[in-house]
Chain A
């Protein structure tokens, strides 16, 4: 009988098999973790689209077929006027005539009037895109049972009217124009305020500040810490400083504008400026730091002063980087909601903002408002508004990426 000889190769091989299997298993675990994040992103976008498009059941107070034999939009002005006279109470009619005589209105205006006053279509129920495609038959059954007089149709909640319309009490008539304009107005103020100060601070910290001095270190640490302060705290600061303390300035009283209170676009823009300032400074600092020091030395060697060097050589070189950082900071400001709520954005505004001292609403505020309403149909409007917001942000970020690529090519 031979003594059993241990085979070192197999032992090690078998050990390796287990170790390799564990390694392979964990590799897939790590990969799936990454995948989950991507799936979440896809779900988020699909869920929004799912809500922003789909079947709706529209119930009209008066069936258009009872008004006329022909479809309403084929009627001429006289016929429309007849319908109006027949179906509207005389007092209402008088008010309408007082606003503008019916005879002088165009066919389109009369048609709108008929729709608005007599037909009064109202969306009673809405379904998701997924259900609309895969459970069409069930939807038709439910709609036929619950809304016998209703009309079932496919509706894209995100449509040109949605961009152009103002706020309305009905979800289907609501639009985001004042919110979109309010956001743009606010961002313009934010940029005007934060960009010069942010770039100035970055230049100071990178080119002038002697890091050995305590106050410069305090400024740097402070900026780094401010970047981590919750945005709602900035809102509270804005409420205390801009809305209340500087109310004569932000409400426009100082400039002779008849302002109510400090809850204006100006306050919101300045608050947002303070919020993005730390991010902007940190990004601009990085851009300035990446300027090769040979450029500085060459400029000094030719006898340029410090500011001449910065203005003519460092800034032009760092500008694409600074702009990229600024755009990223701005896209943060566009999506930020909490500080605006605290500063006092209004949720129902039907007129466009026309000055820095206007009351205002903004796109994220509109989304927040619509989402938190009890009626389900407003969720569809909110989804459409989210798509508008995401498309805006994506295009802004695309610009930033484009600029970053150009920048890195130059180096």
Chain B
């Protein structure tokens, strides 16, 4: 608020041009005008501030609700924090609440997604920033943007009707189940690829061209310049993009809900069905759930876990990006 007041003072410049000899009426009018403006502007300022503050309320709402219901969950019968993080069976009906199977499935799908998204995304970024002609870039970039804009439920359909049958025809229908973490993970990798490529490309393009020219000047090839000069210079931005990608993979719901299977299973076999944390939340809340049961409360506990993990990953990535900005701007 102090900014407005300060600004008002400046714009009307009352301090310097205060009318010394003018009559009372002129002074009154000027004061009236000032007051009116002041009030209206203050109201607007407050309203705008409140709009900004809604985001804070959202965060507080998320943290408060998730924590409150999670506490309810952890205080209900047969649930305790140590068991939650150490046991490998999730069977709410008979009182087994070990979150490891869900975490394990999330880690597996995210791992497969990263195997696809990180190398391909980085390679695409290097191509777009270092090799592609202006014309090629103007065709490829919008196409990648479209790939990034496809709704996740469509990717889920793609995983189930294309990727899974393909995997089954390669590895045999006996080994590959209809729902499996590999198919979901691979398709998720395709989904995240444009995110990695566009963020990494931004980082690569931000490297000053002087560095490249210096490398060419001492006789380096284009590849040597890209790998030994540009890539190390942009590494923080690239790593930040990887972290954001991991965060996206962990929070992704629809692909795993459709293709990874429903029903928690503690397995390391990529061809078997296993439910992820997000898939579990979607299944439980999609059914007829009654409030204030351990089942219902458990989605909040898992939601809190998801929120914390993605929040921490985002903060780390932001820290890294900031360091990178300080170097080149």
Contact = CB atoms under 8 A, between A and B. Distances in A.
A239 B285 contact: yes
Contact of B58 (A221, A226, A341, A383): A226
A27 interface: yes
B221 A41 contact: no
B51 A197 contact: yes
A274 interface: yes
B285 A237 contact: no
B296 to A, nearest CB: 9
B229 interface: no
Interface in A17-49: 19-20, 22-23, 26-27, 29-34, 36-38, 40-41, 43-44, 47-48
B146 A236 contact: no
Contacts of A169: none
Nearest to A299: B11
B127 A30 contact: yes
A233 B282 contact: no
Given A30-B131, A200-B47, A241 B65 contact: yes
Interface of A is mostly: helix
B195 to A, nearest CB: 11
B251 A232 contact: yes
A34 B125 CA distance: 8
Interface string A110-152: 0000000000000000000000000000000000000000000
Contacts, number: 275
Interface residues of B, number: 93
Nearest to B128: A34
Interface string B35-53: 0010011001101111111
Given A229-B311, A338-B253, A389-B151, A240 B306 contact: no
A230 B157 contact: no
A210 B3 contact: yes
A305 to B, nearest CB: 5
A232 B307 CA distance: 10
Contacts of A47: 158, 161-162
Contacts of A235: 281, 285
A37 B48 contact: no
B62 interface: yes
Contact of B150 (A200, A368, A390): A390
A228 B310 contact: yes
Given A37-B193, A38-B140, A40-B147, A232 B282 contact: yes
A20 B53 CA distance: 56
B49 A208 contact: yes
Interface stretch (A71-79, A87-95, A252-260, A329-337): A329-337
B205 interface: no
B124 interface: yes
Contacts of B2: 210
A165 B133 CA distance: 48
A341 to B, nearest CB: 5
A364 B146 CA distance: 17
A204 interface: yes
Contact of B65 (A196, A222, A240): A240
Given A38-B143, A364-B153, A367-B153, A237 B258 contact: no
A350 interface: no
Contacts of B194: 37
B146 to A, nearest CB: 6
A338 B250 CA distance: 14
Given A205-B52, A230-B253, A33 B161 contact: no
Given A239-B285, A277-B58, A305-B37, A336 B48 contact: no
Contacts of A23: 221-224
Contact of B124 (A20, A34, A218, A367): A34
Interface string B50-88: 111111101101100110010000000000000000000
B222 A27 contact: yes
B190 interface: yes
Contacts of A44: 150, 154-155, 158, 162
Contacts of A197: 51, 54
Contact of A30 (B40, B45, B126, B193): B126
Contact of B8 (A221, A226, A305): A305
A225 B313 CA distance: 10
B249 to A, nearest CB: 10
B131 A337 contact: no
Interface string A373-403: 0000001001100100110011001000000
A6 interface: no
Contact of A371 (B244, B258, B281): B258
Interface in A316-354: 331-332, 334-338, 341-342, 344
B48 A204 contact: yes
Contacts of B132: 34
B299 interface: yes
Contacts of B314: 224-225, 228
Given A19-B223, A236-B285, A368-B153, 6 more contacts: A19-B221, A230-B278, A233-B251, A233-B310, A277-B58, A338-B152
Interface of A: 19-20, 22-23, 26-27, 29-34, 36-38, 40-41, 43-44, 47-48, 51, 196-201, 203-205, 208-210, 216, 218-219, 221-226, 228-237, 239-241, 244, 274, 277-278, 281, 300, 303-307, 331-332, 334-338, 341-342, 344, 364, 367-368, 371-372, 379, 382-383, 386, 389-390, 393-394, 397
25 contacts: A19-B224, A27-B131, A30-B126, A30-B127, A34-B144, A40-B193, A41-B146, A47-B162, A200-B50, A208-B45, A216-B52, A226-B58, A228-B247, A228-B314, A230-B251, A235-B281, A236-B281, A236-B285, A237-B65, A239-B285, A240-B69, A336-B151, A342-B286, A364-B151, A368-B254
